[in-house]
Structure 1
Amino acid sequence: MKAKIVLKSLMVVALLSVGSFANDPGNLTKPSAKVQSMIDKFELEMVDFDYAKAKVAKGTRDGAKAVFVDARPNKKYKVGTIPSSINIPDTDYDKYVGQLKDTPKDKEILVFCGGWKCGKSPKVANMLKKDGFKNVKLYQAGEPEWVKKSYLEVDLAVIKAAQANNSAVLIDARPYAKYLQETIPGAISIPDTKVEELKGRFPVNHIEKVITFCGGYKCVKSHVVAKKLISMGYSNVKVFAGGVPEWKKAGLATTKSASKVKVDSKPKKPEFSKNGAKIGVDEGSIDGEWLYALIKEDKVPSYIQIVDVTSADEFKAGHLKGAINITAENFSAKELVAKFPKDKTIVFNCTAGGRSMDAWTKLNEAGVDVSEIFYFDANIDCKGNDCKIEVNEPLE
């Protein structure tokens, strides 16, 4: 009898554990209730990683089998997106949708954003449907899932910063003769046709950041090398799809022109705000690692007020300790500022950084003094006040 009771108890514990795991926001594998209601309302079909990967195909914009649309803010798109994607932020739809003016209305379009809790992708998908596009689907797991399983495409600003700071291995995937003619200074040559022969040149450390590039947006060679790196277990692989042509177009030095190009000299930004908040590299951002360390140690200064800009339901499910909730998208810039506590440094946060960035941008574009207003660029999953935080990489 005792054995049966013990076995039954163990089964109950196991079931509770499974249920707990399934409900853990850090392991979310389906849309949040709010996002699901939007998907249902707009009658949208979802696809998974394998489907999206097959549609990315060669990774180039000409070679992809569907149009990928990143619905996140432009800065998030520049930091890293699914290869071949174009950017149509939900908050700037009219400004960016012109990129699809020559796209047939029956062309398959896959929209994504910052993961299962992100409502930007269903919003943009619905706007596209209203504009007459008939084959619009969601890859709702989005960039957070993709980056764990594959490589990202990055903007010029990312490789420029990596080259200036010596913070990544740069790989020119073009033929060696092209490399010798002209390349990005500091890059090594691993042509896509010589990968097996030269793979010993790849970094020993499999978490080292690697950026591949070749002859521009139509060139598949950088994608071939990136895929090989992923297959070998490298976890931080990027492709600079613009390649050498975009680098030169920006007037940046190459091995051929280095002596002729002047180095940009930017004025040095202050390290801290007047109240004492450490300013991040990207405009409007708080230093993410600095704030994260304070949150972990429960030592967030009293002059900082964290403002969670998500919906009331999301905030109720979990939020950073000490945060207040103001759903920023529901208010004008003037209304939003009126809700802030006086004489505080305001730090916006959300679940993936997109909505907090939107809130800051709204205020900045309205001419509000944002010298003590910042956004926290991080992926944040909270259950109550128990939060898993991953600080996002800055653009520059």
Structure 2
Amino acid sequence: MKHHRTLALAAALALLGVPNVQTVQAAEPSATAITPKEGWYHQIVNASFVAGYAILPKPEGVMIIDSRPTARKYDIGHIPTAVSIPDSQFEQLTGRLPVDKDTLLIFYCDGPECRLSHDSAFKAEKLGYTRVHVYAAGYPDWVSQGHIGAVSIPYIKKLQDEGAPMTLIDSRPKERKYDKGHIPGAISIPDLQFDKLVDRLPADKASPLYFYCEGLSCTLSSDSAARAVKRGYTRVKVVPEGYPEWVRRYGPGPTADTISKPAIQVGRDTSTITVASFERIYREAPDTIHLIDVRDPAEFAKGSFKGAMNFPIKTLERRIGELPSDKPIVFFCGAGGRSGEAHDLTKQLRPQLVTYFIDAEIKWSADGSHTITE
């Protein structure tokens, strides 16, 4: 039997080892604590009921419908798998509704004071749909219940065009999917390698994160999003339509053969790499450099950059022949002193190597994140 996973708090709870008490498909509407208002549609459901259907892969026989304006509301935050049919355009957009009149329809908008979902529900009933319900508490309640929200592909494009700060994560396998085409600006953190590559995420837990994968049949992005929430990130959303929708709207994205790797930018001292340049390379193309930690083993054991090798400065001279030569080397320590010494020593003993060092104060946290202060 195919197992569906929620895009909501249940996914995060599962990662924490808490049993998932939500049903995959609820047969009847759940009870709601909201007191019905005059003019409301008569079938009201709550977040638990909706969460049973806001899952990936998207289940058959159900459609969740956002009755709010598309650009102003739906694009910037909606229930995962929901489609946008603004109530003001309902008659013009009935073609988006399913042909089967027995399909479960769940309408929602912006909370108890919003009537758009109720108005749309009445219209759907008049069209002959037999299983119409309204999530009256709407999207504000969805978020307040701890469920992960979703954004649209056009919204991601808008953020990119505006140069807004964000981290866009491709959760698909790197070589098989990401390298063959991805949304421009996305970084690759395959869901199966999330814990190993979590250092590629920004250290600031309030940074906006957007996860995507291969569309409404793919669960990888929602799984990674739940892992990010578990690690303390507070502004996490998914892009359920993912890369296929990007291709449909804007064409294929860059591939491993066409994308340009971030170049090393040197500081005033040409022996150093700028912090901004290092952070970008470490985040987007860590496999293009060798990271050499020249601190003592005890310091190295307490935290370092992912993938770094430990060459304590006291042993570097006798181990100089072990330094790799196929990529540029970036030496680092905790403050720039020992790493600068390592760079100078290497230039004396193996001048053919391309080496730089980070001349800044670096601290690592227990969760693997880091901060660099110039």
Q: TM-score, normalised by structure 1?
A: 0.51
Give the whole-Å Cα distance in 1 for the aligned partners of 2:43 and 2:218.
Answer: 31
Helix, strand or coil: the match of 1:38?
coil
Aligned to 2:52: 54
Give the whole-Å Cα distance in 2 for the aligned partners of 1:251 and 1:134.
Answer: 37
Alignment of 1:70-219 (within 5 A): 70-75=66-71, 76-102=73-99, 104-148=100-144, 149-164=146-161, 165-177=163-175, 178-219=177-218
**1:125: how far off?**
1.0
CA separation of 1:88 and 1:251: change in aligned 2, threshold 3 A: closer
Q: Deviations over 1:345-393 (max 9, x none)?
A: xxxxxxxxxxxxxxxxxxxxxxxxxxxxxxxxxxxxxxxxxxxxxxxxx
AA in 2 matched with 1:157 = P
CA separation of 1:253 and 1:81: change in aligned 2, threshold 3 A: same
Structure (1 or 2) with the greater helix fraction:
1
Contact 1:81 1:153 in 2 (8 A): yes
Helix, strand or coil: the match of 1:51?
helix
Aligned to 2:26: none
Give the whole-Å Cα distance in 2 for the aligned partners of 1:233 and 1:87.
Answer: 30
Alignment of 1:236-385 (within 5 A): 236-251=235-250, 254-256=253-255
**1:244: how far off?**
2.1
Helix, strand or coil: the match of 2:237?
strand
Unaligned runs of 5+ in 2: 1-32, 260-374
Give the whole-Å Cα distance in 2 for the aligned partners of 1:106 and 1:87.
Answer: 20
**1:143: how far off?**
1.0
Aligned to 2:353: none
Return structure 1 stretches of 4+ with deviation > 6 angstroms: 257-260
CA separation of 1:232 and 1:36: change in aligned 2, threshold 3 A: farther
CA separation of 1:198 and 1:250: change in aligned 2, threshold 3 A: same
Contact 1:151 1:236 in 2 (8 A): no
CA separation of 1:66 and 1:230: change in aligned 2, threshold 3 A: farther
- Give the number of the structure whose alpha-carbon radius of gyration is greater: 2
Alignment of 1:28-43 (within 5 A): 30=34, 36-39=37-40, 42=41
CA separation of 1:185 and 1:63: change in aligned 2, threshold 3 A: same
Give the whole-Å Cα distance in 2 for the aligned partners of 1:257 and 1:248.
Answer: 16
CA separation of 1:161 and 1:101: change in aligned 2, threshold 3 A: closer
Q: TM-score, normalised by structure 2?
A: 0.54
Unaligned runs of 5+ in 1: 1-28, 261-396
**1:51: how far off?**
1.9
**1:253: how far off?**
6.9
AA in 2 matched with 1:110 = I
**1:257: how far off?**
9.5
AA in 2 matched with 1:116 = P
**1:172: how far off?**
0.3
**1:64: how far off?**
6.7
AA in 2 matched with 1:217 = L
* Deviates further, 187-196 or 85-94: 187-196
Give the % identical residues. Answer: 30
Give the whole-Å Cα distance in 2 for the aligned partners of 1:99 and 1:248.
Answer: 20
**1:78: how far off?**
1.8
Helix, strand or coil: the match of 2:39?
helix
Give the whole-Å Cα distance in 2 for the aligned partners of 1:71 and 1:106.
Answer: 20
Query: How many equivalent pairs are there?
Result: 223
Give the whole-Å Cα distance in 2 for the aligned partners of 1:145 and 1:94.
Answer: 27
RMSD of aligned alpha carbons: 2.6
CA separation of 1:51 and 1:186: change in aligned 2, threshold 3 A: same
CA separation of 1:166 and 1:118: change in aligned 2, threshold 3 A: closer
**1:65: how far off?**
6.8
* Deviates further, 143-152 or 196-205: 196-205
**1:231: how far off?**
3.6
